[in-house]
Amino acid sequence: MIRAEGLTRRFGDRIAVEGLTFVARPGEILGLLGPNGAGKTTTIRMLAGIIAPSFGSASVLGLDPARVPERVHERIGLLTEAPGFYERLTARRNLTYFAGFYPGLQVERAVDEQLRIMGLSDRAGDNVGTFSKGMKQRLALARTLVHEPEVLFLDEPTAGLDPEAARDLRGLIVRLKGEGRTILLSTHNLTEAEALCDRIAVFRTRLVALDTPQALRERQFAPLVRVRVENLTDALVSAVAGEPFVREAGRDAGEPGTLLVRLEKADRDRPVLVSRLVALGAEILEVREDRRTLEDVYLSLVREDEA
């Protein structure tokens, strides 16, 4: 489990992270979403015990990263934004070096295992300098996982990768979550955040919002359902508008015979709306929901915060 309590970091007069409070539950992928300079990397560095907070506290697996960084490092994995390696040395040599710092680890076996999982066994003896960016990123993930950490901090893991390499890496991240690891994932990629994260923290120096993607969507934009009805009448529109779960209802001016209904909660209210319409004698031809993308939600939250 990862816990941040009023976590703040100043660099001189500049505040990089302010009063950040959240909990990442065991086995969860929590996404950190924010623009450049929002403090995502600083947050990860504080939680991973690389830098200390100016104020506030953090706890990772019950340990304080500022007080006992080495003990925290034994149990976490940090994937840094740039996958730095000793390029003149082989992939195996690089992994063996980093693995050699973890107490009680059977280095050779752990290195072989990670190279196999990442599909790099065939290139284990090649210098890292000859690797593509995608291969380096997979090797960096192997380095992050070589000691089987319980908590992972992944800073922009797919940045700069081609679509295929990014998809493969996302597959690996899903597999890691399946193994029960807690993952804090910093990303710019909204599609990736939506696909991978259980919850998303929208972040801009301070926490703007934290919830599941669906809940964030509903918080910012009430779900809008379009119902094409064969026999749409004003009486039907009025009856629907009067339902308690409906925020707003009206005709779609651009599409005759279509009823627009804004609901309180999409998943809960949509089936109730359909049965109610049927009960009111509507002949339903089509029901579809206008889904707002996470990008809409993110931009709306950021603009709101700016305002």
Partner 1 sequence: MRARVGNVLRMEWAGMARTPSSLLFLVGVPLLLIGQALFLSWVLPRFVNPELIGVTAPGGGGLDPTDAFRLLILGQFGFFVLLIPAMIANVFATLSIVEEKTSGTLEPLLATPVRTAELLLGKILSGAIPALLVAWASTGLFLALASLLGWSPLFPYVLTATWYITLFLLMPAVSLLSFVVGVIGSSRARDAKGAQNLAVLVVLPIFALIVVQVTGLIWFTPLSTAILSAALILVDAVLLRVAVHLFARESIVIRWR
Least distance to partner 1, CB of residue 96, Å: 8
Question: Which residue of 29, 47, 60, 73 would you call a contact of partner 1, by CB under 8 A?
Answer: 73
| SS3 at position 301 | helix
Give whichever of 80 and 158 is closer to partner 1, judged by the CB atom: 80
Q: Build a one-symbol-per-residue string for 28-67: x at contacts with partner 1 by CB under 8 A, - elsewhere.
A: -----------------x--xxxxx---------------
Interaction of residue 85 with partner 1, rule CB under 8 A: yes
Give whichever of 103 and 254 is closer to partner 1, judged by the CB atom: 103
Question: Which residue of 15, 54, 102, 305 would you call a contact of partner 1, by CB under 8 A?
Answer: 102
- Long-range contacts of residues 294-298, Cβ cutoff 8 Å, at least 24 apart: 294/190, 294/191, 294/193, 294/194, 294/200, 294/213, 294/216, 294/217, 295/190, 296/220, 296/221, 297/213, 297/216, 297/217, 297/220, 297/221, 298/33, 298/190, 298/202
Question: Helices in the chain by DSSP H: which ranges?
Answer: 40-47, 69-73, 91-99, 107-117, 133-145, 163-178, 190-196, 213-220, 234-241, 266-279, 294-306
Least distance to partner 1, CB of residue 95, Å: 11
Spell out the residues 6+ positions from residue 228 whose beta carbon is closer than 8 angstroms to its own. 255, 257, 258, 259, 284, 285, 286, 287
Give whichever of 16 and 236 is closer to partner 1, judged by the CB atom: 16
CB atoms closer than 10 angstroms to residue 13: 5
Least distance to partner 1, CB of residue 144, Å: 8
Interaction of residue 76 with partner 1, rule CB under 8 A: yes
Interaction of residue 11 with partner 1, rule CB under 8 A: yes
In whole angstroms, what is the distance from residue 228 CA to residue 283 CA?
A: 9
Nearest to 18 by CA among 53, 48, 63, 52: 53
**Ramachandran angles phi, psi of 275, nearest 5°:** -65, -35
Give whichever of 89 and 241 is closer to partner 1, judged by the CB atom: 89
Given CA atoms 297, 302, 303, 307 in this order, what sign does their dihedral have?
Answer: positive
Binding residue count for partner 1, defined by CB under 8 A: 32
Least distance to partner 1, CB of residue 241, Å: 56
Interaction of residue 100 with partner 1, rule CB under 8 A: yes
Interaction of residue 91 with partner 1, rule CB under 8 A: no
In whole angstroms, what is the distance from residue 259 CA to residue 262 CA?
A: 10
Give whichever of 89 and 272 is closer to partner 1, judged by the CB atom: 89
Question: Which residue of 40, 138, 143, 199 would you call a contact of partner 1, by CB under 8 A?
Answer: 143
Interaction of residue 114 with partner 1, rule CB under 8 A: no
Contact call for residues 9 and 114 (beta carbons, < 8 A): no
Region near partner 1 per CB under 8 A, out of 90-98, 113-121, 191-199, 299-307: 90-98
Interaction of residue 84 with partner 1, rule CB under 8 A: yes
Question: Which residue of 83, 157, 213, 223 would you call a contact of partner 1, by CB under 8 A?
Answer: 83
Interaction of residue 98 with partner 1, rule CB under 8 A: yes
Spell out the residues 6+ positions from residue 264 whose beta carbon is closer than 8 angstroms to its own. 222, 223, 245, 246, 247
Residues of the shown chain interacting with partner 1 in the complex, contacts defined by CB under 8 A: 11, 45, 48-52, 70-71, 73-74, 76-78, 80, 82-89, 93, 97-98, 100-103, 140, 143
